A = this chain, B = another copy of it.
Amino acid sequence: MATIDDVARKAGVSKGTVSSVFSKKRPISQQVTERVLEVAKELGYFPNHIARSLSIKKTMIAGLRIPLSSDGTMSAFDSQMINGVIKECSKQGYRVLLDTLPEQDDPTLFSQDPVDGIIMLNPRKNDTRIGRYNQMGIPLVLVGRPDPLDDSISYVDNNNTEAAYQVGDYLLRSGHKSVLFLNASSDMTVAYDRKNGLMEAFRHHGLPFSEEHVMHYNRKLHVSGTEYGYMSIMDTFEAMNYSAVITDTDRVALGVLRAARELGIEVPERLSVIALSNDATLAQEINPKLTSVELSADLLGAEAAKLLIEKMNDMSMNRQVIIHAKLVVRESCSTQNSS
């Protein structure tokens, strides 16, 4: 590859001049510009992004840290989130660096990434990385609230507690007395928040809430979301007494529907299904159309990107954005059940 020096030499000008021709930060006369561009073309010269980044201390790259499950696949939620991030970043001229490498805890090996800021998914409890990024002066935005809550950190999240309350309220109002909740993995804050919301709804309606009716997704037990839904119904429908199921994702709901078909349970007549949806288009295409809560993962991603870019421009800025998840009633819930 030709360098800026090669161009400068051949065009008979200085490095600085060539630099200015390309960056346009300083006006260069018509003639000189033309000669430089011509030589550059001749030599096949393109500015080196890394050298430039080193100099201006900016890479125009946003880092996106996603913890992948052990089998290396990402969920529909992840995928839509990424989509949102990319969309917003592209719009503002940023590229996105995906990082799924397990974090090295050996600081000797820990090397700063070539990014101007970082969006981090599913922060852990008391996540030490948050402090580390702060110390390094790298702008950070979380997707999913920090635990414990901390409003000196920028983050975006759904109104999980409220959404779960809403779902519970809707089901109980419709006459359901007992509900199976196929919740997310128990180590996630969303799982905790949602359970609280649902409990609150039961309390509000003066009905007893059974912890046993809350399942948690478990990597070791379930090979996939659909399998989680399928197995949970197969295992519990006989033994437990419920007339409605709330599922963690649309995929889980697909598994529930398959189990219902095999057991000859009519949906929604004998079993109502509500999905906490991460795939807006899927819910309306399956039969029966799924009543669901739209989480808008893409919006979460886009907002996270906006927040990050804001923060890159002003480190002192931090903000929290709550994406309103709301119930969309379709066909998978009965409204006059009272089993």
Contact = CB atoms under 8 A, between A and B. Distances in A.
Contact of A285 (B95, B101, B251): B251
Contacts of A254: 282, 285-286
Interface in A31-47: 37, 40-41, 44, 46-47
Given A54-B50, A90-B72, A96-B98, A44 B136 contact: yes
Interface string A80-119: 0011001100100101111111000001101111100000
Contact of A97 (B97, B281, B286): B97
Contact of A111 (B49, B73, B255): B49
Interface string A233-256: 000000000000000000100110
Contact of A257 (B40, B73, B287): B287
A48 interface: yes
B49 A114 contact: yes
B72 A86 contact: yes
Given A49-B112, A49-B113, A261-B287, A98 B74 contact: no
**Interface size for chain A: under 10, 10 to 19, 20 to 34, or 35 or more residues?**
35 or more
Residue with the highest number of chain B CB atoms closer than 10 Å, among A73, A114, A136, A282: A114
B86 A100 contact: yes
20 contacts: A46-B107, A46-B111, A46-B112, A46-B136, A49-B113, A68-B87, A72-B86, A72-B90, A73-B83, A82-B98, A90-B100, A90-B101, A93-B101, A95-B99, A95-B113, A96-B98, A226-B281, A226-B285, A254-B286, A257-B287
Given A114-B114, A254-B285, 8 more contacts: A22-B108, A50-B54, A53-B114, A68-B90, A96-B98, A97-B98, A251-B285, A258-B285
Interface of A: 1, 22, 37, 40-41, 44, 46-54, 59, 61, 68, 72-74, 79, 82-83, 86-87, 90, 93, 95-101, 107-108, 110-114, 135-137, 224, 226, 251, 254-255, 257-258, 261, 281-282, 285-287, 298
